[in-house]
Structure 1
Amino acid sequence: MAEQKPDGLDTNRIMVALQRVYLKDTSFEAPNSPQIFTGEWRPNVSLNLGSKTTELGDDQYECVLNLAVEAKQEDKIAFLVEIQQAGVFLLRGLEPADLQRALVTFCPQQLYPFAREAVSDFTSKGGFPALQLQPMNFEAIAAEAFRRQQAEQAAAGNDAGASREASH
């Protein structure tokens, strides 16, 4: 039989729930306004994306999704938007590997639509066409990061082996 807490919650049951979503930090800059509005709008847009998690206790975790979006018109910065979209997640009863996967894929995936909306709002309020970021597959992003990490570790291991051979 599952262990029961005094409040009646089943502590052995798997629970994955988004408890709260909030904007932790944000910045919008348009350093070359209003001059940037003259001429044809053909920006070069770059996106940097990352996430960080913090254990809060009682099976709760904060996940912060960091987005930095920069648009350049030729060699001038049109705008820079930085968003820290955060959420508190309840992740109970998961095996360690499943918990890690949830923290790097599920949690950021849930926050990304809120961050996309914030980027769109800030760019339109800054006088630019609303920027619609494309959907992201955080499973694929995590798999690619893992593959790169494995390749780097293998290369570092090969370099260490070669230097040991050279020193003998």
Structure 2
Amino acid sequence: MAENQNSHDQQASRDPSFSLQRTYIKDLSVEMPNAPEIFLEQEGPTVEVSINVGGQRLAETIFEATVTATVTTRIQDKVLYLVEATQAGIFEASNIPAEQLDPLIGIVCPTMLYPYLRANVADAINRTSLPALHLAEVNFQALYEQRIAQLAEEQKQQDSGIILPPGATRQ
């Protein structure tokens, strides 16, 4: 009976596992450089949103993943507000095949963190006394695939067969 239990415990220790340990705001800033004068403007604002994903290994099975949003809202050429927020999470991933680890950190983790980021950005903007801006949904798999394609293209350009002398750079 004890042998059965040991065999079961050994199998469980080899099974893949993945879990979110903690989420936190790593960085949050709100700037309104042209207030209060910009409140007198009658034109509607334009909004630019940039999303970036990052990740790093902290320990053998512990990873930090981040999603950063930069929201710049302008009226004409003046900034109404600029919000930059980085939502981070600590994830435990053990016994995950190496080829699955990068997509896990680059797709699954940001997908789990993004709702927290959206809420924090909306809250930060709402605290400026302006109407909240709700970030649109993001397809992190498509972003990941774009990043992989871009890296492959950069690698292809570097491997063009042209040998540069020491100290020379590609332009």
Q: Is the TM-score greater than 0.5?
A: yes
Cα deviations by residue, 1:121-146 (Å, 9 ceiling, x for unpaired): 11111122111110001100010111
| Equivalent position to 2:77, from 58, 75, 79 | 75
Q: Determine if the alignment matches structure 1 residue 161 to structure 2 residue 162.
A: yes
User: TM-score, normalization: structure 1?
Assistant: 0.85
Cα deviations by residue, 1:7-57 (Å, 9 ceiling, x for unpaired): xx9321111111111112211111111222223352221122222222222
Counterpart for residue 29 of structure 1: 31
127-136 or 36-45, larger mean C-alpha shift:
36-45
Counterpart for residue 40 of structure 2: 38
Counterpart for residue 137 of structure 1: 139
1:151 deviation in Å?
A: 1.8
Whichever residue aligns with residue 26 of structure 1, its letter is L
Unaligned ranges ≥5, structure 1: none
Alignment coverage as a number of residue pairs? 159
Counterpart for residue 85 of structure 1: 87
CA RMSD of aligned residues (A): 2.0
1:152 deviation in Å?
A: 2.3
Q: Percent identity?
A: 29
Whichever residue aligns with residue 82 of structure 1, its letter is E
Q: What aligned pairs does 1:76-155 form with structure 2 within 5 A after superposition?
A: 76-155=78-157
18-27 or 134-143, larger mean C-alpha shift:
18-27
User: Do 1:53 and 1:61's aligned partners in 2 also have CA atoms closer than 8 Å?
Assistant: yes
- What is the distance in 2 between the residues matched to 1:99 and 1:72? 39
Unaligned ranges ≥5, structure 2: 1-6, 166-171
Whichever residue aligns with residue 112 of structure 1, its letter is Y
Cα deviations by residue, 1:38-93 (Å, 9 ceiling, x for unpaired): 23352221122222222222511111222211111110011111111111111111
